[in-house]
Each structure stands twice: as C-alpha cells, then as structure tokens.
Amino acid sequence: MITGKNYIGNTLSAKGEKTYKTFNPKLNTENNTLFVEATNHEINQAAQLATEAFKEYSQFSDVKKAKFLKAIAEEILALGDNLIQTYCSESGLPEGRAMGERGRTIGQLNGFAAHLEEGSWVEATIDTAQPERTPFPKSDIRKMLVPLGPVVVFGASNFPLAFSTAGGDTAAALASGCPVIVKSHPMHAGTGELVASAVIKAAERTGIPNGVFSNVNSSGIEVGQTLVQHPNVKAVGFTGSIRGGRALLDLAAKREEPIPVFAEMGSVNPVVILPEALKNRADAVAKTYAGSITLGSGQFCTNPGLILGVKSEGLTQFINTLSSQIKTIEPSCMLHPNIANAYNKNKEKALSQKGITVTAKYDENVAANFSKQTLTTVSGATFLENTTLHQEVFGPYSIVVQCENIEQLETLILKLEGQLTATVIADNNEASNYPKIISALQNRVGRIIFNGVPTGVEVCASMMHGGPYPSSTDSRFTAVGVDSIKRWVRPFSYQDWPNHLLPDALKNENPLGVYRIIDGLKTTNKI
C-alpha cells in the first residue's frame, strides 16, 4: 500500500502540511494518493540518523553489505504487479519498459553485490616496512578505499526505477558503505515509496542500522536544496537537467565544507556520418536512426539529437529517408505534462531560429501528453554561429547539420559542448582517414561508438556514462557500471598499524583473498 509518507530511517513520517499528487499522463488525470512533503525537522532527523548509522555501517564487511543489496533486489521483485502498475500510472511508460527497467535495477543491485563479494574494488595497496633503510627507515603503509559519509540521491524523471530510489546511484553508495537519503522524484512518488519500502524491509531483515536509508518526498526544489546544504551530507548524486544539476553544484560549492556533486545532465550525443558511409548506405543508417531517435519518446540522456555530415547526395538521401521513416512512427506518451510542455516549448524555440528547415514533423493530432517527433536540418555555418541550436530538446527531436566540408565538420566538433557520447558511422577502413575528426570527438565525450546507436547504455564494468561538462559535472566518474562506486569513496592510509586492528582487506593473511598491490606487484598472496 502506498501511504504518501516519507521514510525517515525505518519510520513512516508525515509531519508536513504541503501535499501533492502524481499524474497519469496516458489518462491525462491525477492519481489518487496524497504525498506529504518532508519538513525541515524530518530532513534533519534523516541526516542525523544517517550520520549515526554511518559509524556502524561504514565498518560492515563487504559480504554483509552484499546480503543487504541482494535482499533489496528480492524485496523489489516481491512488490510484484503493484510496482509495475504504479510505475506505468505515474510515467506513461508501457509495461514492457517497466519490467525491463525493474530487471535492470535488480541486475544493478546484484551486480554490486557480486562486486563486493569479490572484494578487490577497495584497491588495497601495501608497501611493507624497511626498518634497515638509510638514511631513514621506511614505515609499513597500507591504503584502501573507504566510504565518504551520508549521500543524497535525487530520483530521475526518466528512469523511475533504474536511476531513482534504489537505482544505480543508491546501489553504488550503499555498496560503498555510505548511508543514502533519497530525494524522491515528485512525478513518481508512489513508485518511489514502494521501492523505499522494499529497501527498508531488506534493511530490517539483514541487520542494517536504522538511518542507512531514508526516502523524502517533495514537489518543489526546497527539500533538495536543504539536503545539499546539510552539513551531515558528504556527497550528492543527481540525474536531470543542466539547470537543475548546475544549481545543486553551485549550492554544494558554496558550503563551508564543499562536497562533490555527481550530476548527469544534458547531452545531444553527436553522430558523425562519414562520406563513404553516406554514399553507400544512407538508407540503412537512416532506418536505424529513426528508431534510436524516437525510442522511449526520445526521453533518454543518450538520445541522438545531433547528426553531422558533409553536404552530398548521400546526406540528402539520408535526410529524406530518415524524415519519411520518422513520420510513420507512432507517437508515444511522454512522462508528464510538464515534460511534454517543455518538449513543445524547446522545440518551438529551436524551430524559430534562422536557417532551420523542418524535414519531418508528425502532423496528425495526438492525445494529450503524446509526442510529435520532429526532424530539422541546418547548414554548418548557421549551426556554428548559433549556440541555441546546440541545446538539447529533451524528447523525439533531432537536427541534421550539413557541413560544407570536412574542415568545417572538424571546427564544429571542436566547438561542441561536452557530451556523454559520440557516434561515428563509417565504411570499411574509412575511419582511419579522419584522425582529426575522431580525436576532436574524443576530447568532447565520455564514450565513442562505432557504427551503432548511442541509446541503450549497457550496465557493465567497461561502461563510461558521463562526460565533459555540461553532460556531467565531473567527467572523472561514471554513473553506470560497478566503477560508479568510486564516486562515494576516498583512499585511506594506515601507517605502521597493528595487523589485528587493520581491516580484513589489508591484513597480512589476506583473509578475503582479494587482489592487492604489494610492494608494486599485483597479487592475491599473503604477506
């Protein structure tokens, strides 16, 4: 049952007076439950519980934390159809997507559990003592990663499960040993509460201290601001708009103790189609991209919003085919009236710029909150001049830039803002002929794709999901995959520390059997 209350640690709490409801965009009507926004007192309670719980939880073994994560996955599954129905009613997304995203969420939790069970993630590094060294003896020093402290996670509008309550950020933070306070996304507060109840159940049955997890409701920005400024909070995870992410980054930077904010924000994910590929398979590429652009109503951070090529017959053919394909794709429901309105507004702004030609527009009437996908084109010179055209239009919108020549294409890439991904579409060996284009792309993105599409972010150790600003606030960390745990930890050294008081990962006996670097050599040996 959804109560509309906050979880302040393990306790349901609703002391506030401000309330709100979620919205069913498909039915174009409000859902029933009344959600109660967290008060400052409740936020304080959650922060104090988290700090207290951190003392104990930060010392837990990886095996114990892994049990907790696996229990969360089980409890989420146990929510059954109730979760799927709530998800759909709060997001307009289809059941298949809900099931897929639940699978991804559970996969992430179990993936971190396995990462903990293996144990080498703490990067244990040991330099043994040299008491006879001259002129000074050398101490025994041992380093490993330790958790930062309480973390605030903001639920994402476009991933009610995989990037929200018990999504990637939360799973990574809990795995590292950090307590988590989730600022629930107002659009799917019911989904959030259900998942939060699963986390609390898992915590209770695996002996996790009260305060390791809280879930607070809010419809506006104040609760999030208060959390980011709270002295007990040591780091922040966010997925959303550039404006929202930057505001949190600025708040965190102004604190007496500045803290890291990992915001994964906007990206237009440039796709470069090289000349030979345009000449030989414009149609095939266009057909693939019609699907990628409109997937999930274009509501993905890796949606390809910018396609670049050099003027040619092939490029004209590509635009024609892509346009005709896009028009035939059925519009789909967007996440929320606010998202649909923003899409329409940003699209109109883009369309009103000088030099823009609309090549495809879904012209039939659609139901409220459904998307009308659009494709436009513009010259390289116009795109270079007008940075408004560089901005993301969140939804099924893309622009094809027709460059005069390869030099203009390179100049244009060098001037692009930071991006999550870039894609290169090339024929056999063609890519080798454009080293400057490729190196320019590499400097602007976090992931580069060859002859594929940027949508579909694989959850795996080799994934980099993040990129130069403004695609994310810190290009040095991924938001997806097991290495995302590195956002929530810091190295810690013990010097001449007694063996029996060291954490297991650093003990002479290597009781966990983890990989360690001992005097420069990677090994699982004892000392």
Report 478-507 residues binding its own copies (CB under 8 A).
Answer: 478, 483, 486, 489-498, 500-501
Return the residue matching tokens 């709490």. 13
CA-based Rg of the chain, rounded to a whole angstrom? 25
Q: Which residues pair with 7 in a beta bridge?
A: 12, 215
In the shown chain, the binding pattern of residues 251 to 270 toward its own copies, with x for contact by CB under 8 A and - for none, equals --xx--xx-x----------
Single-letter residue type at 11: T
Q: Which window, 204-212, 389-397, 398-406, 462-470, contacts its own copies (CB under 8 A)?
A: 462-470
> Which two structure tokens, joined as six digits, stand for 212?
């390791």
The strands making up 213-216's β-sheet, listed across from edge to edge, are 11-13, 6-8, 213-216, 180-183, 151-154, 235-239, 261-264
* Interface with its own copies, residue 138, by CB under 8 A: yes
User: Does 304 participate in binding its own copies (rule CB under 8 A)?
Assistant: no
95 is a catalytic site residue: no
Region near its own copies per CB under 8 A, out of 3-11, 208-216, 245-253, 267-275: 245-253
Q: What is the smallest separation between the CB atom of 431 and its own copies, expressed in angstroms? A: 6
Integer angstrom CA distances of residue 397 from 293, 330, 505? 7, 14, 50
Q: Give the residue from 20, 10, 17, 18 showing the smallest Cα distance to 189.
A: 20
Q: Considering only residues 126, 273, 282, 409, which one is a binding residue for its own copies as defined by CB under 8 A?
A: 126
User: Does position 131 bind its own copies by CB under 8 A?
Assistant: no
Please give the residues from 380 up to 419 whose contact with its own copies meets the rule CB under 8 A. Answer: 418
185 CB neighbour count, 10 Å cutoff: 28
Which residue among 88, 178, 301, 333 is the active-site one? 301
The answer to whether 35 contacts its own copies (rule: CB under 8 A) is no
Tell me the C-alpha distance between 358 and 351, whole Å: 8
Gap between the Cα atoms of 50 and 214, Å rounded: 8
Q: Is 221 in the site for its own copies (CB under 8 A)?
A: no
Residue type, 386: N
Taking CB under 8 A as the rule, does residue 148 contact its own copies? yes
| Total interface residues for its own copies by CB under 8 A | 72
In the 8-state DSSP scheme, what is residue 61?
A: -
End-to-end CA distance of the chain: 54
How far is residue 58's CA from residue 65's CA, in Å, rounded to a whole number?
10
Residue type, 72: I
Which residue, 34 or 461, has its beta carbon nearer to its own copies? 461
Q: Give me the 51-90 binding string for its own copies, x by CB under 8 A, dash otherwise.
A: ----x--xx-------------------------------
Q: Does 192 bind its own copies (CB under 8 A)?
A: no
Residue type (1 letter), 295? L
- Whichever of 32 and 387 has its CB closer to its own copies, that residue is 387
The answer to whether residue 243 forms part of the interface with its own copies (CB under 8 A) is no
What is the C-alpha to C-alpha distance for residues 353 and 383, in angstroms, rounded to an integer?
Answer: 10
CB neighbours (10 Å) of residue 507?
Answer: 17
Quote the least distance from Cβ 298 to its own copies, whole Å.
Answer: 19
Residue 301 among the catalytic residues: yes
Nearest to 394 by CA among 287, 523, 267: 267
Please tell me whether residue 291 binds its own copies under the rule CB under 8 A: no
> Interacting stretch for its own copies, rule CB under 8 A, among 194-202, 321-329, 363-371, 437-445?
437-445
Residue type, 515: Y
Residue 249 contacts its own copies per CB under 8 A: yes
- Selected catalytic residue, list 37, 52, 101, 264: 264
Structure tokens, 276: 């030979």
- Residue 146 binds its own copies, judged by CB under 8 A: yes
Residues shown for the chain: 527
Identify the H or E element spanning 90: helix 80-91
Please give the residues from 90 up to 109 whose contact with its own copies meets the rule CB under 8 A. Answer: none
Instruction: In angstroms, give the least distance from the CB of 510 to its own copies.
Output: 15
Work out which of 284, 358, 442, 509 binds its own copies, going by CB under 8 A: 442
Minimum separation from the CB atom of position 450 to its own copies (A): 5
- Exactly one of 70, 473, 504, 505 binds its own copies (CB under 8 A); which one? 473
Q: Which residues are catalytic?
A: 264, 301
